[in-house]
Amino acid sequence: MEPVRTPAPIPADPGTDRARFSWDMARGWLQGLPRGRGLNIAHEAVDRHAAGPHAGRTALRCIRKDGTAQDLSYAELGARSSRFANALGGLGVAAGDHVFTLLGRVGTLHVALLGALKHRCVVTPLFSAFGPQPVATRLALGNARVLVTTSTLYRRKVEGIRQQLPALAHVIVVQDDERDGLPTATLDWQALLASASPAYEIGPTDPQSPALLHFTSGTTGAPKGALHVHEAVVAHHATALYALDLRDGDVFWCTADPGWVTGTSYGIIAPLSHGLTVIVDEGEFDALRWYATLERERVNVWYTAPTAVRMMMKGGAATARAHRYAALRFIASVGEPLHPQAVAWGMEAFGLPIHDNWWQTETGGIMIANCAGMAVRPGSMGRPLPGVTAAVVRREADGGVAPIEEPGLDGELALKRGWPSMFRGYLNDEARYARCFAGDWYLTGDLARRDADGYYWFVGRADDMIKSAGHLIGPYEVESVLMAHPAVLEAAVIGKPDPLIGEAVKAFVALKPGIAASDALQRELLGFARTRLGAAVAPKEIAFAEALPKTRSGKIMRRLLKARELGLPEGDTSALEAA
Ligand code: AMP
């Protein structure tokens, strides 16, 4: 194999480069596969470093639940992911096949994802807190051929639904509970890797070929699989430079769960593409543990979320100040509105502001941000990144959109198509994809306003989606599970404002004739939903209703339920069915 060139230097001063930025320029910051064989995310994230001067640098520092740590260098991550790529080949898995992971925050996820990308498979990381129902739905919709999970998660969430998934040919299991042994009809991760070669040459990869499939919820119907291509790495790399202020030699910590897009784009790909050391904390959220981690690991850049910040704020800034964060240079947040108080708390607790930024599954990478070197405007999501054209638009009667030029007015947030990490389709649903665009504008489904200085402010969702602890939850998926209970006639689900988690999932349920509402039934329904959906998605509250408000065409009016719940004006109810 031809020697791999050393990594292209990242620009020393992104501030200067910002003015002359182009996506072509950002393409030049990556290396590309040797001999002009295209662009592969895994090559940029690991192989080019493993073959260069940073081979011995720690790529992953995995902190176990008990606080002990295990390091993996770029050379080791390269070899392990190559072993997995070879193992997939040995199983007859082909380029283009779909590989899923159902894992917590563990280094195995990085190995599996990068190995599958090397083998040119399409990868979907699933959220490990999902219950069996959302797992089954996504594995089936995504045509999963391979699943990598742990023996504990397999037994809890997959074993019972396996027969519904005939296309799922291989389940590879990391045994995290030796006493149980290997579940039947699964393969052992360790054994598979041990018998595979650590050398793997990535095949020619078209930058426009599918690489990642991220499920996101829709207001109606099944979850949508947003497809991203290998070229997305150009945006992961460049946006992290501007919005997260990454610098050579940094220790970087992204606290997002790997089952959501942030955990992939910025928990794995972006920092590794910069050759940084990535912290992977296997433990659950615990404010004291997090402060200790930031201090002990000398984290330079920390990317977190408003719910986590609010939970830390509860403990008071003095608790945070009990530690010293000598290395911490930049804090960023994403996923839900970051209130001005949270930005101020960052100053009190860490002596640094928290930089809000905005993006979504479909955009694949950060689009709008309060960047380093730019005045943070507390409460604002920031300004569009270099290479990103945003606008607040109004939908026109003819189906087109018109940008609202005047600042301060509400409209839908839209982005001009053409950035490399833009999703290239919803899996098997071209019509739904087409509906997201009006000419060259991608319509985000978020409402926003732009001020006179070009900063964007989040106003709300244009649809009924719920953001709970940073997780986007589709009401339809929750309603479908409730309606599977024999006592339920119909259900409607809304997001109820919650001071800690942003919004809590609340369900309104109408019972079948002859069935009486009771506390016992309410508890049973909460448990029923929780077992199937998982705690992160299931309703926290269920209220019984005689009947649910509907339009004359029979569509449940979730907005009206929400307005009534919050004591807000009911808005236009002209379409409401007569009671
Ligand atoms: P997801 O696709 O799960 O990443 O969710 C994306 C959605 O989260 C966006 O469309 C917004 O509604 C919301 N979101 C993301 N970042 C922010 C932010 N900084 N402020 C307000 N809402 C946000």
47-84 pLDDT, tens per residue? 999 999 999 999 999 999 999 999 999 999 999 999 99
CA of 49 to the centre of ligand 1 (A): 32
In the reported structure, the alpha carbon of residue 361 is separated from the centroid of ligand 1 by a whole-number distance in angstroms of: 9
Pocket test for ligand 1, best of 467, 503, 537 (most atoms within 8 A of CB): 467
The residue-averaged pLDDT of 165-171 equals: 97
Mean pLDDT over 88-93 rounds to 98
Average pLDDT rounded to a whole number, residues 325-337: 96
Residue 444 alpha carbon, nearest atom of ligand 1: 10
pLDDT, tens digit, 9 for 90 and up, residues 411-469 = 999 999 999 999 999 999 999 999 999 999 999 999 999 999 999 999 998 888 999 99
379 lines ligand 1 (CB under 6 A): no
Lowest mean pLDDT among 9-13, 211-215, 475-479: 9-13
CA of 358 to the centre of ligand 1 (A): 6
Closest residue by CA, ligand 1 atom 9:
360
- Among 459-463, 495-499, 538-542, 570-574, where is mean pLDDT lowest? 570-574
572 band by pLDDT with thresholds 50, 70 and 90: low
Q: Is the CB of 472 under 6 A from ligand 1?
A: yes
Q: What pLDDT score was predicted for residue 177?
A: 79
pLDDT given at position 206? 98
Show the CA angle centred on residue 428, arms to residues 424 and 433, nearest 5°.
Answer: 45
Whether the domain at 14-281 and the domain at 466-566 fall into the same CATH topology: no
Q: Considering just the CA atoms, what is the radius of gyration of the chain in Å? A: 24
Domain ranges of the chain: 14-281, 466-566
Closest atom of ligand 1 to 461 CA is: 12
CA–centroid distance, 293 to ligand 1, in Å, is: 26
**Ligand 1 atom closest to Cα of 471?**
3
Of 391, 393, 339, 334, nearest in space to 365 by CA: 334
> Hey, whose CA ends up nearest to atom 10 of ligand 1?
360
Whole-number Å distance, alpha carbon 460 to ligand 1 midpoint, is 10
441 lines ligand 1 (CB under 6 A): no
For ligand 1, the distance from its centroid to the CA atom of residue 260, given in whole angstroms, is 12
Give the residue from 147, 146, 149, 145 showing the smallest Cα distance to 175: 149
From CA 485, how far away is CA 479, in angstroms rounded? 10
Q: How far is the CA of 335 from the centre of ligand 1 (A)?
A: 4
What's the whole-number average pLDDT of the chain?
A: 93
Task: State if residue 216 touches ligand 1 by the CB under 6 angstroms criterion.
Answer: yes
CA nearest neighbour of 537 among 477, 488, 487: 477
Closest atom of ligand 1 to CA, residue 261: 4
Residue 124's pLDDT band, with cuts at 50, 70 and 90, is very high
| Among 360, 385, 444, 459, residue to substitute to test ligand 1 (most atoms within 8 Å of Cβ) | 360
381 lines ligand 1 (CB under 6 A): yes
For atom 22 of ligand 1, the residue with the nearest CA is 336
Q: What is the number of other CB atoms lying within 10 angstroms of the CB of residue 64?
A: 13
User: What pLDDT is attached to residue 247?
Assistant: 94
Instruction: Report which of 4, 232, 197 is spatially closest to residue 117, judged by C-alpha positions.
Output: 232
Q: How many helices (H) and strands (E) does the chain have?
A: 20, 28
**Rounded distance between C-alpha atoms, residue 534 and residue 129, angstroms:** 6
With a 6 Å cutoff on the Cβ, whether 257 touches ligand 1 is no
Cα–Cα distance between 347 and 359 in angstroms, integer? 24
CA 356 to ligand 1: nearest atom: 19
Enter the tokens of residue 26.
């950002």
Question: Rounded mean pLDDT of 12-39?
Answer: 86
Q: Residue 5's pLDDT is what?
A: 36
CA of 127 to the centre of ligand 1 (A): 17
Question: Does an H or E element contain 532, and which?
Answer: helix 519-533
Which pLDDT value is given to residue 4? Answer: 35
pLDDT of residue 12: 46
Q: What CATH number should be reported for the domain whose range is 14-281?
A: 3.40.50.12780
**Could you tell me which residues come within 8 angstroms of residue 56 by beta carbon, excluding any fewer than 6 positions away?**
73, 74, 75
Please give the distance, rounded to the nearest whole angstrom, from the Cα atom of residue 444 to the centre of ligand 1. 10
Unique residue bearing structure tokens 């390091």:
71
Pocket lining: 307 vs ligand 1, CB cutoff 6 Å:
no
CA angle 82, 83, 88 (to 5 degrees): 95
Q: Is 266 in the pocket of ligand 1 (CB under 6 A)?
A: no
| 285-295 average pLDDT score | 97
**Cα 336 to ligand 1 centroid, rounded to whole Å:** 5
Average of pLDDT values for 343-356? 96
Q: What residue's CA is closest to ligand 1, atom 5? A: 360
Ligand 1 pocket: which of 356, 358, 361, 443 to mutate (most atoms <8 Å of CB)?
358
pLDDT band at 146 (very low <50, low <70, confident <90, very high): very high
Cα–Cα separations (whole angstroms), residue 47 to 100, 236, 547: 22, 17, 59
Q: H or E segment at 2? A: none
pLDDT higher than 80, residue 99: yes
Is 577 a residue whose pLDDT tops 80? Answer: no
Distance 369 CA to ligand 1 centre (A): 12
Give the ligand 1 atom nearest the CA of 381: 19
- Residue with CA nearest ligand 1 atom 3: 472
Whole-number pLDDT of residue 8:
45
pLDDT digits (tens, 9 = 90+) for 237-270: 999 999 999 999 999 999 999 889 999 999 999 9
Inter-residue contact 55 to 73 (CB < 8 Å)? yes
pLDDT band at residue 552, thresholds of 50, 70 and 90?
confident
For ligand 1, whether the C-beta of 361 sits within 6 Å is: yes
Give the Cα separation of 479 and 555 in Å (integer): 13
Cα separation of 211 and 227, whole Å? 7
Give Cα separations from 421 to 229, 236, 476, 561 (angstroms): 7, 7, 27, 36
Torsion of CA 141, 144, 148, 154, to 10 degrees: 60
Comparing 168-177, 339-348, 548-557, the range with the smallest average pLDDT is 548-557
- At 570, is the pLDDT very low, low, confident or very high (cuts 50, 70, 90)? confident
Residue 357 CA: which ligand 1 atom is closest? Answer: 19
* Ligand 1 site, residue 467, Cβ cutoff 6 A: yes
Indicate the top mutation candidate among 370, 472, 477, 501 to test ligand 1's pocket, ranked by most ligand atoms within 8 A of CB: 472
Cα–Cα distance for residue pair 195/247, rounded to 1 Å? 37
Percentage of the chain exceeding pLDDT 70: 96
Lowest mean pLDDT among 49-63, 118-132, 206-220, 356-370: 206-220
Q: What is the mean pLDDT of residues 276-282?
A: 97
Question: What's the pLDDT at 388?
Answer: 97
457 lines ligand 1 (CB under 6 A): no
Name the helix (H) or strand (E) containing 504: strand 502-511
Report the separation in Å between the CA atom of 6 and the middle of ligand 1, taken as the mean of its atom positions: 36
Alpha-carbon gap, residue 59 to 65, rounded angstroms: 19
Rounded distance between C-alpha atoms, residue 458 and residue 502, angstroms: 14
Any ligand 1 atom below 6 A from CB of 335? yes
Question: In 3-state terms, what secondary structure has residue 156?
Answer: helix
- Span 466-566: which CATH code? 3.30.300.30
Predicted confidence at residue 7, as pLDDT, reads: 39
| Segment among 41-50, 286-295, 449-458, 467-476 with least mean pLDDT | 467-476
Query: Does the pLDDT value for residue 6 go beyond 60?
Result: no
